[in-house]
Structure 1
Amino acid sequence: MSELSEANQVARPRKQPLLLKWSWRELWHGQLWPVAVALTLIIACVFALSALVVRVEKIMVDQGRTMIAADLVFRSANPLEPPLLEQAKALGLTMSQQTRFGTMAFSEQEMQLVSVKSVGSDFPLRGELVLKGAGVRHRVQPGELWLAERLFSLLAVKRGDLITIGDAELTVAGKITQEPELSFNPFSQMPAVLIHNSDLAKTGAVQPGSRVQFRAYFNGPDDKLRQLQQAVELQPGQRWISETTQGRTGDMIERARQYLSLTLILVILMATATLVLTCWHYTSTRIEAVAMMKSLGASKRWLWQWLARQLSLLFAIAAVAGLSIGWLLEFLLRLPLSDVLPDPLPESGFTPVFVSLTVALLVAIPGLGISLLRLVDAPAISVIQQQVDWPVKRQGNALVLLPVVAALIWFGSNKFMWLTLAGLAALLGILALLGLLVVALLRRGKWGAAIKLALSRISRSPLATGAQLAALTSSLMLLAVIWLLRTDLLADWQQTLPADAPNVFALNISPEQQQAYLDELDRNQVVRSEGYPVIRGRLIEINQQDLLAGTSQGEERDESLRRELNFTWRDTLPVHNTLLEGEWSDSRGVSVESGIAGRLGIRLGDELTFNVSSQPFSAMVTSIRLVEWRNMRPNFYFIFTPDVMAELPATWLVSYRIDADQNALINQLGRDYPTVTLLDLRTMATRIQAILQQVSLSLSVLAVLGVSSGLLLVLTLLRLSLSQREQEIKLYRTLGASRKRISATVWGEYGLMALIAGVMAAAGAESVVAALLKWGFELPVIGHPWLWVMLPLLSLGLVVIIIRSMIKRLLMPLKG
Structure 2
Amino acid sequence: MSLLTPAVPVNWRAAWREPGLRLLFAAVLIAVSALSSVAFFADRVERALVLQGAALMAADLVVVQGAPIPQVWRDKATSLGLQQARSVTFPSVVLANERPLLVQVKGVESPYPLRGRLQIDTPGGDLDGPPAAGAAWLEGRLRDRLGITIGSDTLQLGELRLRAAGVLVDEPDRGGNLFQLAPRLMVNYADVQRSGLLGPGSRVRHRLLLAGDSEHIAAMRSWLEPQLPPGSELADLENARPELRTALERARRFLSLAALCASLLAGVAMLLAARRYVDRAFDGAAVLRTLGMSSRAVLGWHLRRLLVAVVVATLAGSLIGLLGQQALVALLGDWFGTTLPQPGVRPLFVGLAFGVCLAVGFVMPTLASIGRVPPLRVLRRELAPAGLATWLVWLLAVAVFLGLMAWQVRDARLAVAMALALLATLLVLMGAGRLLLRLLAPLRRTGGSAALGLAALARYPQLTLLQLGGFGLGITLLLLLAVVRVDIVDAWRSSLPAQAPNHFVINLQPDERERFAAILRERGVPNSGLHATVRARLLAIGGRTVNADDYADQRARRLATRDYSLGFGAEMQADNRVQAGRWWDGAEAMAPAFSVEQGLAENLGIGVGDTLTFDIAGQQVTAPVTSLRSVAWDSFNVNFFVVGSPALLEGLPATYLSSLYLDDTSERLTLTLAEAFPAASVLDVRPILEQVRAIMERGALAVEMVFLFTLVAAALVTAAAAEVSRDERAREVAVMRTLGMSRRRLLGAVLIEFGVLGLVSGVLAAALAAITGYLVATELFDLPGRIAAAVWWLGVGGGTLVVALVGWLATRRLVGIPPIQVLNSE
Structure 1 residues 735 and 535 mapped into 2: Cα distance closer, same or farther (>3 Å)?
A: same
Give the letter aligned to residue 482 of structure 2. W
**1:746-804 Cα shifts (integer Å, max 9, x gaps):** 555544443433343345445655665577x4525725263455423332122221233
Instruction: Find the aligned partners of 1:575 and 1:317 in 2 and give their Cα distance.
Output: 53
Matches within 5 A, 1:26-425: 27=16, 30=19, 32-133=21-122, 135=124, 136-158=127-149, 159-183=151-175, 185-231=177-223, 232-233=225-226, 234=228, 236-245=230-239, 246-285=241-280, 287-288=282-283, 323=319, 327=323, 331-332=327-328, 335=331, 338-343=334-339, 345-348=340-343, 356=351, 359-360=354-355, 363=358, 382=377, 384-390=379-385, 407=404, 411=408, 415=412, 419=416, 422-423=419-420
DSSP 3-state at the match of 1:725: helix
Give the letter aligned to residue 135 of structure 2. E
- Equivalent position of 1:585 in the other structure: 586
DSSP 3-state at the match of 1:338: helix
Instruction: Find the aligned partners of 1:380 and 1:605 in 2 and give their Cα distance.
Output: 72
Contact 1:584 1:623 in 2 (8 A): no
DSSP 3-state at the match of 1:508: strand
Contact 2:139 2:183 in 1 (8 A): yes
Instruction: Find the aligned partners of 2:614 and 2:818 in 1 and give their Cα distance.
Output: 88
DSSP 3-state at the match of 2:156: strand
Structure 1 residues 72 and 714 mapped into 2: Cα distance closer, same or farther (>3 Å)?
A: same
Contact 1:483 1:707 in 2 (8 A): no
DSSP 3-state at the match of 1:527: coil
- Equivalent position of 1:481 in the other structure: 480
Contact 2:88 2:204 in 1 (8 A): yes
Tell me the number of residue pairs that the alignment of Structure 1 and Structure 2 aligns. Answer: 788
- Runs of 5+ consecutive residues of structure 1 not aligned to the other structure: 1-15
Instruction: Find the aligned partners of 1:160 and 1:567 in 2 and give their Cα distance.
Output: 44
Instruction: Find the aligned partners of 1:151 and 1:381 in 2 and give their Cα distance.
Output: 94
2:686 is the counterpart of 1:691 = no
Contact 2:65 2:233 in 1 (8 A): yes
DSSP 3-state at the match of 1:565: strand
DSSP 3-state at the match of 2:26: helix
Instruction: Find the aligned partners of 1:520 and 1:621 in 2 and give their Cα distance.
Output: 37
Instruction: Find the aligned partners of 2:215 and 2:344 in 1 and give their Cα distance.
Output: 18
Contact 1:99 1:119 in 2 (8 A): yes
Matches within 5 A, 1:557-706: 559=559, 562-569=562-569, 574-577=573-576, 581-585=582-586, 588-589=590-591, 592-595=595-598, 598-599=601-602, 612-615=616-619, 627-637=631-641, 645=649, 650-706=654-710
Give, in angstroms, the shift of residue 717 of structure 1: 1.1
Structure 1 residues 299 and 513 mapped into 2: Cα distance closer, same or farther (>3 Å)?
A: closer
Give, in angstroms, the shift of residue 95 of structure 1: 2.1
Instruction: Find the aligned partners of 1:486 and 1:299 in 2 and give their Cα distance.
Output: 52
Give, in angstroms, the shift of residue 526 of structure 1: 3.0
- Equivalent position of 2:545 in the other structure: 548
Structure 1 residues 541 and 174 mapped into 2: Cα distance closer, same or farther (>3 Å)?
A: same
- Runs of 5+ consecutive residues of structure 2 not aligned to the other structure: 1-8, 821-826
Structure 1 residues 244 and 793 mapped into 2: Cα distance closer, same or farther (>3 Å)?
A: farther
Contact 2:28 2:313 in 1 (8 A): no
Give, in angstroms, the shift of residue 501 of structure 1: 0.5
Instruction: Find the aligned partners of 1:597 and 1:58 in 2 and give their Cα distance.
Output: 27
Instruction: Find the aligned partners of 2:173 and 2:378 in 1 and give their Cα distance.
Output: 76
Q: Identity of aligned pairs, percent?
A: 24
DSSP 3-state at the match of 1:724: helix
Give the letter aligned to residue 226 of structure 1. A
Give the letter aligned to residue 432 of structure 2. G
Give the letter aligned to residue 131 of structure 2. V
Instruction: Find the aligned partners of 2:567 and 2:317 in 1 and give their Cα distance.
Output: 63
Give, in angstroms, the shift of residue 86 of structure 1: 4.0
Contact 1:476 1:761 in 2 (8 A): yes
After TM superposition, the structure 1 stretch with the greater mean CA deviation from structure 2, 406-415 or 712-721, is 406-415
Structure 1 residues 446 and 584 mapped into 2: Cα distance closer, same or farther (>3 Å)?
A: farther
Give the letter aligned to residue 565 of structure 1. S
Contact 1:47 1:327 in 2 (8 A): no
Contact 1:591 1:625 in 2 (8 A): no
Structure 1 residues 647 and 81 mapped into 2: Cα distance closer, same or farther (>3 Å)?
A: same
Give the letter aligned to residue 60 of structure 2. D
Structure 1 residues 597 and 121 mapped into 2: Cα distance closer, same or farther (>3 Å)?
A: closer
Instruction: Find the aligned partners of 2:804 and 2:305 in 1 and give their Cα distance.
Output: 38
Matches within 5 A, 1:461-540: 465-487=464-486, 490-491=489-490, 493-495=492-494, 497-537=496-536
Structure 1 residues 584 and 452 mapped into 2: Cα distance closer, same or farther (>3 Å)?
A: farther
DSSP 3-state at the match of 2:104: strand
Instruction: Find the aligned partners of 1:29 and 1:546 in 2 and give their Cα distance.
Output: 75
Contact 1:102 1:113 in 2 (8 A): yes
Give the letter aligned to residue 785 of structure 2. I
Q: Which residue among 802, 808, 811 is the counterpart of 1:804?
A: 808
Contact 1:480 1:707 in 2 (8 A): no
Instruction: Find the aligned partners of 1:752 and 1:728 in 2 and give their Cα distance.
Output: 19
- Equivalent position of 1:434 in the other structure: 431
Give the letter aligned to residue 214 of structure 2. D
Give, in angstroms, the shift of residue 391 of structure 1: 9.3
Question: What is the TM-score of this pair, normalised by structure 1?
Answer: 0.80
Structure 1 residues 88 and 608 mapped into 2: Cα distance closer, same or farther (>3 Å)?
A: closer
**1:11-59 Cα shifts (integer Å, max 9, x gaps):** xxxxx9x978x64xx7468555434433442243234323322321221
Instruction: Find the aligned partners of 2:308 and 2:437 in 1 and give their Cα distance.
Output: 46
DSSP 3-state at the match of 1:99: strand
Contact 2:66 2:232 in 1 (8 A): yes
Structure 1 residues 333 and 275 mapped into 2: Cα distance closer, same or farther (>3 Å)?
A: farther
DSSP 3-state at the match of 1:528: coil
Give the letter aligned to residue 252 of structure 2. R
Instruction: Find the aligned partners of 1:305 and 1:597 in 2 and give their Cα distance.
Output: 58
Structure 1 residues 612 and 369 mapped into 2: Cα distance closer, same or farther (>3 Å)?
A: closer
Structure 1 residues 104 and 568 mapped into 2: Cα distance closer, same or farther (>3 Å)?
A: farther
Question: What is the TM-score of this pair, normalised by structure 2?
Answer: 0.79
Contact 2:88 2:207 in 1 (8 A): yes
Give, in angstroms, the shift of residue 63 of structure 1: 0.9
